[in-house]
Every structure is written in structure tokens, then in C-alpha cells.
Amino acid sequence: MISVIDYGVGNLFSLCSSLRCVGAEVQVSADPAVLEQADKLVLPGVGAFGDAADKLRATGLDQLVIKQAKKGVPVLGICLGMQLLFEESLEYGRHKGLGLLAGRVVPMEGAIPEKLKIPHIGWNALQPVAESPLLRDVKPGDCVYFVHSYYADGCADSLVATAEYGIPITAMVQKGNVMGCQFHPEKSGPVGLAILRAFCEEEGKA
């Protein structure tokens, strides 16, 4: 059973549909007791980092994610959910993340050439830079769908794929059982589904 963590941000309809499409049993829950039983966890997220981190803390689900991740339960963060895995974010002030991965989330503004539009929105090609089970069926140049204005920086020890947008933007991360996609695999057609399938079929350590 894969549990999608519901902490009150964003719509989980497409994410759940896509996980079911690749054959996963999926439940959405905000209940720590239920989430504790899950074989795998998905941490979604849209909106601003500070709000999302506050909501995760207010529900106590931050500690649940950290505890399960440390036990070896595979965790997949998506978009803002991926950003939350890092130590901190500089989006509208300085906000603490879950600290499961080394690195911090910084604005694209000032880091990418001025002529490029922000947010980075649309289909961009993945460039694998390290091996990862998530990349099992991904070929260099396969495109996935991004929508974001901030990106994870200083995350060399977990970086597994980038996308070129003036600079190499962190697209996928993985360190052991902790994984993340900056893009939306549930909106990335067959390539996105292949990544979700790889996550669903990955053997957990739990």
C-alpha cells in the first residue's frame, strides 16, 4: 500500500489516478497511525514552501515522515514535496525543511539568465547524472513537465537528474530510500508514469 500524505495542500486527484494507473494500491491519509502502516509514502505539495512546512508541522506529519524515512520506508517527494525534503528554503524568508537531504531551496531569479521566463513552466528534458532506480526506464532527453520558481541547490550527494534551463536545474534526487522529483510525474505522460512505476516496484528496506 502506498500512502499519499494529505496535509491540506493541493489537489491529489491526478497523483492518485496516476499511481493507480501503474498498478499501485493507493490511499490518501492525514492520520499518522494509518501512514505508519504504509509500505511507501508520497509527499505531494503545491504553493509556497513556508505555508506547506507550517502545515506539515502543525499536523505533526513532519515527524512521521522523518521517522519512517529513517526506518527505511521509501519516500517520494513531488514538486514542493521534494523541496520539503531539504534542510531549508529561501522562498519568502528562510524556512526550515525536513532535513532528510542535504541542500537548500533557492530562487531561480538571479541564478538563471534574465531572458528566461520564471516560473520554469513546461516540458523539459531530463539529463541523468547518477544512477537511480527511479531512472530505470528513463532515457537522456526524455521530457517531463515542470512548474516551479525555486530549485534545490547544493544537493550533489543526492542529485540524480537535471534539466537545462540556463543552468542545470535539480530535477530528480535520491539518497537511499529518500527520493524526489521537482517536476510532476503525474503530468508527464508515459515518462512520468514510468518513474512512478519504478518507485512503486522498488523494494523498500522496511
Contact set with other proteins (CB under 8 A): 11, 13-14, 17-18, 21, 46-47, 117, 119-125, 143, 145-147, 164-165, 184, 186-189, 192-193
* Nearer to other proteins among residue 19 and residue 159 (C-beta): 19
3-state SS assignment for residue 94: coil
From the candidates 95, 186, 200, 202, which is the catalytic residue? Answer: 186
From the candidates 95, 120, 148, 184, which is the catalytic residue? Answer: 184
From the candidates 79, 155, 181, 200, which is the catalytic residue? Answer: 79
The type of residue at 90 is L
Is 79 labeled as catalytic in the residue annotation? yes
* Cell numbers that stand for 125 in this block: 528534458
* Nearer to other proteins among residue 22 and residue 69 (C-beta): 22
Is 186 labeled as catalytic in the residue annotation? yes
Asked if 144 contacts 124 with a C-beta cutoff of 8 angstroms, the reply is: yes
Residue among 47, 68, 76 at smallest CA distance from 201: 76
Closest approach of Cβ 16 to other proteins, in Å?
Answer: 9
Residue 112 zone, left/alpha/beta (φ > 0; ψ -120 to 50; rest): beta
Closest approach of Cβ 179 to other proteins, in Å?
Answer: 19
The single-letter DSSP state of residue 88 is E
Closest approach of Cβ 71 to other proteins, in Å?
Answer: 31
Closest approach of Cβ 17 to other proteins, in Å?
Answer: 5
Q: For the purposes of burial, counting CB atoms within 10 Å of the CB of 156, is it exposed (0-12), middle (13-18) or buried (19 or more)? A: exposed
* Nearer to other proteins among residue 68 and residue 89 (C-beta): 89
* Nearer to other proteins among residue 68 and residue 83 (C-beta): 83
The single-letter DSSP state of residue 129 is -
Residue 188 parent element (H or E) = none
- Active-site amino acid positions: 79, 184, 186
